Amino acid sequence: MIVHVDGVDSADKAKELVGKKVSWKTDGKAGKVLEGKVASAHGGKGAVRVIFATGMPGQCIGKEVLVE
């Protein structure tokens, strides 16, 4: 999954995030939290590639995630 992080606008800043945990809370009643990890920078404008433990549902596209 490609994630754009607020305040990160260059590949150098994105590389600093590699290894950080990323989580996304589902909207359903169960309130599950899907977790992943920043794997690498993606492109030159600050996006990062995140690998989640499970497949991400379509509902997560365009939603906010937490980068720790």
One pLDDT digit (tens) per residue for the chain, 68 residues = 999 999 999 999 999 999 999 999 988 788 899 999 999 999 999 999 999 988 888 888 999 999 99
Structure tokens belonging to residue 8: 């990160």
CATH superfamily of 2-67: translation elongation factor selb, chain A, domain 4 (2.40.10.190)
pTM assigned to the model:
0.86
Domain locations along the chain: 2-67
Q: What is the dihedral of CA 27, 31, 32, 35, to 10 degrees?
A: 70
pLDDT attached to residue 57: 87
